[in-house]
Amino acid sequence: MDRRGSDKYRSHPLHAANDAQKTLEPPSSAPLLSWYDRHHRDLPWRVSPSMAARGVRPDPYHIWLSEVMLQQTTVPAVKSYFAKFLERWPTVKALAEAPTDDVMAAWAGLGYYARARNLKKCAEAVARDHGGQFPDTEEVLKALPGIGDYTAAAVAAIAFDRPAAVMDGNVERVISRLYAISTPLPAAKPMMKAKVALLTPSERPGDFAQAMMDLGATICTPKRPACSLCPFRDNCVALRLHDPEHFPVKAAKKDRPVRHGAAFIAVNEAGEMLLRRRIDSGLLGGMTEVPTTGWTARIDGDATAGAAPFAADWQTCGIVVHVFTHFELRLAIFRAAIVGRPCADDGWWEPVTNLEAQALPTVMKKAIAQAIPRAFNQ
């Protein structure tokens, strides 16, 4: 058990780290900012250096929206969603007035759907309590739904040029290597945040924060970091120890259990599919689903017949496997041709041609595609 990541606990000579540190100059923000000016990435939510030089500041709404989307999500995955949201809801006020179901449907596929629910709540709070203007301090930002330590600091620094200590997974990796911190995460976070605070300059704190994250994303990568290109190469204790990949040390992860369930794709003679809305809390909260069993039981033929939303000629369509963060789901898929609209009180019958507009999470799209291969465009 605990095979995942357990080797991260392999021992490391602390005395060597201390000895190496004595021979290194402490890092400063200047080389990093210089590197950032030379390697700036053009991202949709950023203000270009030339515009910034003319005093143009980023739109706080854009920064906030991008930062929420980027929580535990990669830049390539976010880009199209960011463009879609800005086109549809150009201002925080527009987002505040949008129907929640529209926001959930637009978010479908990005994952961590509590972010979408909180995004809407946050927009409403900004419109209602702050006159449609985002607050410009960490403390007030953090009081808003979906804004925690990281996002509050990031918005304060990037949008408002506040000297906030921004720490995400990238910065944790950079800092842990710079100082060869052997305390495992997450226990080491307070120590790391203190290091970041000392390193954060009063000039260009927003650029510094983005530079630290860019450095972690492109140079100080988890595997095979490009240390020879790093502006901190002469200050990095982990590099001096010839083992940057050893850091950050993390607590071992737990095994991922397997859960079983069944999903039922019912289509009537009018080309409509039975859908339901999940409760607002918990897994896939507030999102749309096809009828399913609970996701704990082991499914066999007898249990499946009783678990269907209504009696019908259910045909088996095989198994869909979907991996969530903390468990793996194996979903038995069943399909039936229905006459009329049974169970309409428990959900609704949606034209199959309109499935793209629904708030269907990826696991549900996979289940539907298993039963009806042409339900979605690829």
10 part of the interface to DNA, by CB under 7 A: no
Q: Which of residues 229-258 bind DNA (CB under 7 A)?
A: 250-251, 253-254
Q: Which amino acid would we find at residue 134?
A: F
Catalytic residues: 67
323 part of the interface to DNA, by CB under 7 A: yes
In the complex, the smallest distance separating the C-beta of residue 162 from DNA, rounded to whole angstroms, is: 15
- Parallel, antiparallel, or unpaired: how do β-strands 328-338 and 258-268 relate? parallel
157 part of the interface to DNA, by CB under 7 A: no
Kindly write out the interface string for residues 38-77 of this chain, putting x where it contacts DNA by CB under 7 A and - elsewhere. ---x-x----------------------xx--xxxxxxxx
Q: How many residues bind DNA (CB under 7 A)?
A: 62
Among 65, 96, 105, 213, binds DNA (CB under 7 A): 213
Among 23, 228, 325, 378, binds DNA (CB under 7 A): 325
Secondary structure of the chain in HEC code, one letter for each residue: CCCCCHHHHCCCCHHHHHHHHHCCCCCCHHHHHHHHHHCCCCCCCCCCHHHHHCCCCCCHHHHHHHHHHCCCCCHHHHHHHHHHHHHHCCCHHHHHCCCHHHHHHHHCCCCCCHHHHHHHHHHHHHHHHCCCCCCCCHHHHHCCCCCCHHHHHHHHHHHHCCCCCCCCHHHHHHHHHHCCCCCCECCCHHHHHHHHHHHCCCCCHHHHHHHHHHHHHHCCCCCCCCHHHCCCCCCCHHHHCCCHHHCCCECCCCCCCEEEEEEEEEEECCCEEEEEECCCCCCCCCCEECCECCCCCCCCHHHHHHHCCCCCCCEEEEEEEEECCCCEEEEEEEEEEECCCCCCCCCEEEEHHHHHHCCCCHHHHHHHHHHCCCCCCC
Q: Which is nearer to DNA, 242 or 253 (CB)?
A: 253
173 part of the interface to DNA, by CB under 7 A: yes
In the complex, the smallest distance separating the C-beta of residue 98 from DNA, rounded to whole angstroms, is: 19
363 part of the interface to DNA, by CB under 7 A: yes
In the complex, the smallest distance separating the C-beta of residue 340 from DNA, rounded to whole angstroms, is: 30
182 part of the interface to DNA, by CB under 7 A: no
Chain centre to alpha carbon of residue 211: 20
In the complex, the smallest distance separating the C-beta of residue 338 from DNA, rounded to whole angstroms, is: 26
- Parallel, antiparallel, or unpaired: how do β-strands 272-277 and 315-323 relate? unpaired
161 part of the interface to DNA, by CB under 7 A: no
In the complex, the smallest distance separating the C-beta of residue 345 from DNA, rounded to whole angstroms, is: 25
191 part of the interface to DNA, by CB under 7 A: no
Q: Which of residues 270-299 bind DNA (CB under 7 A)?
A: 282-285
Q: Which of residues 75-94 bind DNA (CB under 7 A)?
A: 75-77
- Binding segment for DNA among 96-104, 166-174, 197-205, 308-316 (CB under 7 A)? 166-174
Among 187, 198, 229, 258, binds DNA (CB under 7 A): 187
In the complex, the smallest distance separating the C-beta of residue 186 from DNA, rounded to whole angstroms, is: 6
Site residues for DNA per CB under 7 A = 3-5, 41, 43, 66-67, 70-77, 109-114, 118, 145-152, 154, 168-170, 173, 186-187, 189, 210, 213-214, 216-217, 221-223, 250-251, 253-254, 282-285, 322-326, 361-363
